[in-house]
Structure 1
Amino acid sequence: MKEQPARSLVLDSEALSLLLRNDRGMAARIEASRQVGIPVIVSALTIVEAVQGKTDLARLKWVLSRLRVEPVSQEDSLTAVALLQDAGGHGHKYAIVAALALRVPAPVIVLTSDRDDWSKLCGKRVVIGEV
């Protein structure tokens, strides 16, 4: 059986941080997704987590203008709590982003630096792309 192509690409804070620092590899991955019509999605909360003290505000606004920024809802918070309970408390840092990844069109690729916590939170419901 052939795998379906991704319909959504979700960034965690490390992936967004790399993009903000103009990492060429990350920029190329994001542009490739955009070129084939895959939305690149980030949680509004992830923006706060990814910003470093020296982040240029104009650059931040430009990068975000090219992404789909999703708000965090009460439903996301409750989903995150349930995911954490199911995972035995593992993955606290990624729970809100995991809730977002589970509500956007699947199949979903999540770009993250922490494969282990993601597999505990989401199992095989998302595809992990390491940064």
Structure 2
Amino acid sequence: MARRRLTHEGTLVLDSEGFSKLLTDDEQVVALVAEARSRGMEVVISALAIIEAVHARTNKSRLNWVLSGLRVVPVGDEEARAASKLLMDAGLHGHKYAIDAAVAEAALRQHRPVVMLTSDTDDLTKLCGGRVRIVEV
């Protein structure tokens, strides 16, 4: 599989799948993160994406090491309200898309241009409204 190249400086956002793949040393995701860093991009993750990605078999040492190289974006009251608005604007329900909305909201607040690594391209495209470059992993 050919490696996809990122063409922007700015911010790289990982959703829970992007983060999960980074944790398991997925070749494509590791290469994209390394390329982003070499271009001066900051790599960030929503705090809620961590919760979604971590499970009983997660290597805790690897988790801590990977997180040490990322900026974790917190989710407070203001961010939750903004994520709720994104859901309403996209016609999606929080019961199914709450974490996606929090990730999208975090991405929209980052230094532009913003690129997001995700397996959920349709929903995150709806939530980000074309303001974030979505890269499927």
Q: TM-score, normalised by structure 1?
A: 0.91
Q: After TM superposition, give the deviation of residue 47 of structure 1 in Å.
A: 0.8
SS at match of 1:54: coil
Q: 1:89 aligns with which of 88, 92, 96?
A: 92
Instruction: Show the counterpart of 1:122.
Output: 128
The 1-side partners of 2:92 and 2:8 are apart by 31
Q: After TM superposition, give the deviation of residue 93 of structure 1 in Å.
A: 3.8
Q: Residues 11-30 of structure 1 correspond to what in structure 2 (within 5 A)?
A: 11-30=14-33
Q: 2:77 aligns with which of 60, 74, 90?
A: 74
Runs of 4+ in 1 over 4 A off after TM superposition: none
Unaligned runs of 5+ in 2: 1-6
**Are 1:50 and 2:53 counterparts?**
yes
Query: Given that residues 83 and 104 in structure 2 are in contact (C-alpha distance below 8 angstroms), is that contact kept between their aligned partners in structure 1?
Result: yes
Q: After TM superposition, give the deviation of residue 19 of structure 1 in Å.
A: 0.6
Unaligned runs of 5+ in 1: none
The 2-side partners of 1:55 and 1:118 are apart by 25
Counting matched residue pairs gives 128
Q: After TM superposition, give the deviation of residue 6 of structure 1 in Å.
A: 3.5
Q: After TM superposition, give the deviation of residue 70 of structure 1 in Å.
A: 1.4
Q: CA RMSD in A?
A: 1.4
Q: After TM superposition, give the deviation of residue 92 of structure 1 in Å.
A: 3.6
SS at match of 2:55: coil
